[in-house]
Amino acid sequence: MKSKHFFIGLSMVAIVSCNSQTEETKAEPTTEAKPPQEKEYLSQPLVSHIYTADPSAHVFNNRIYIYPSHDTATGTKEDDLGGHFDMRDYHVLSMDSIGGPVTDHGVALDIKNVPWAGRQMWAPDAAFANGKYYLYFPVKNKQDVFQIGVAVSDKPEGPFTAEKEPIKNSYSIDPCVFKDDDGQFYMYFGGIWGGQLQRWNHNKYDSAAKNRTKEEMAALPRIAKLNADMNSFSEPVKEVKLVDKEGRNFGEKDNDKRFFEAAWVFKYKGKYYFTYSTGDTHFLCYATGDNPYGPFTYQGVILNPVEGWTNHHSIIEMNGKWYLFYHDTQLSGKTHLRNVKVTELKFNEDGSIETLTAQK
């Protein structure tokens, strides 16, 4: 595990295109931000004119596009189910290179333009197929149950037009859309507690279901293969098996290793890497497997806990280097007003990932 803390020269990343900023977004951090702290951070916020979290990064047309949540000050009291995370739209950020100027392209999708949506637009993801760009997003329907929607655009930055209905048989939160080497797309999703995954057993919803107890097996993330239309599942939703190095399932008591939320999948040297957040213990972890369905064997920690209650990430490769996008609360000090960051990710010869620590 690395213990040295350092900056990676990203201070200039906070340069943002002013053309797409509204007066409202310019004002957000100035009313909420706290004074500078005497701390060393591994990296600095990508933007500071709005609060952003849960960054899903992709390389499209040789440019990095980031699809984050857009945090706002809701005034709602904090709770374990995330009621105070009441996000209402998405902005898309982009940059030519790590450390370069960042452009905010403005509102890409607003909740008022999603016909079936009720409240809480949480962490999105994106994909390119069929000559189109697809934005995948979780939002509670009008019955207050999370489902996953799709919106489409001709441009990676949007604006996106939402489909009239959510993906059939989708549920919970945190969609991650992974394209395998053969061109097949898979969606990974799920999050416990406020993400409602604990209410779904055998793909049936039980509104009375409670969080797993310490004596029970931990809830598992989900996977489904996408049809070519990118707007439907081609198979029933399946559980993704996540095990320790002895092949044993994690119990809820193993909350420093078990899945909580924030699935992100990529491939490195022929291996599938399933990465995720442990939620209430605040680690970003990874597990590896030999096919997209798993099983995935736990390997270790990618990023130690950051400031703020949550963490949520993505991992991309560009120009031979790998990068981890994540968030913390450096700008505000408030758990629901977060800021997106990026740092280089390094692999050892055996394929293991060097553990990072974000601040001291």
Out of 54, 104, 125, 307, the active site residue is 54
- Determine the Cα–Cα distance for residues 89 and 322; give it in Å rounded to an integer: 29
Radius of gyration of the chain (CA): 19
Which DSSP state fits 292?
T
Name which of 253, 255, 291, 252 is nearest 273 in CA terms.
Answer: 291
Return the residue matching tokens 């049936």. 204
Is 104:25 a contact under the CB 8 Å cutoff?
yes
Out of 174, 261, 307, 328, the active site residue is 261
Q: Is 261 a catalytic residue?
A: yes
- Determine the Cα–Cα distance for residues 128 and 120; give it in Å rounded to an integer: 25
- Determine the Cα–Cα distance for residues 147 and 203; give it in Å rounded to an integer: 12
Q: What is the dihedral of CA 283, 84, 324, 348, to 10 degrees?
A: 10
In sequence order, what are the beta bridge partners of 137?
A: 149
- Determine the Cα–Cα distance for residues 270 and 181; give it in Å rounded to an integer: 10
- Determine the Cα–Cα distance for residues 51 and 327; give it in Å rounded to an integer: 10
In sequence order, what are the beta bridge partners of 312?
A: none
Strands (E), 61-210: 63-71, 89-95, 103-110, 117-121, 125-129, 132-141, 146-153, 161-162, 176-179, 185-189, 200-201, 204-205
Name which of 85, 139, 82, 1 is nearest 260 in CA terms.
Answer: 82
- Determine the Cα–Cα distance for residues 5 and 41; give it in Å rounded to an integer: 7
Residues sharing a CB contact under 8 Å with residue 143, sequence separation 6 or more, in sequence order: 118
Task: Supply angle C-alpha 215, 219, 222, rounded to 5.
Answer: 165
**Which amino acids are annotated catalytic?**
54, 261
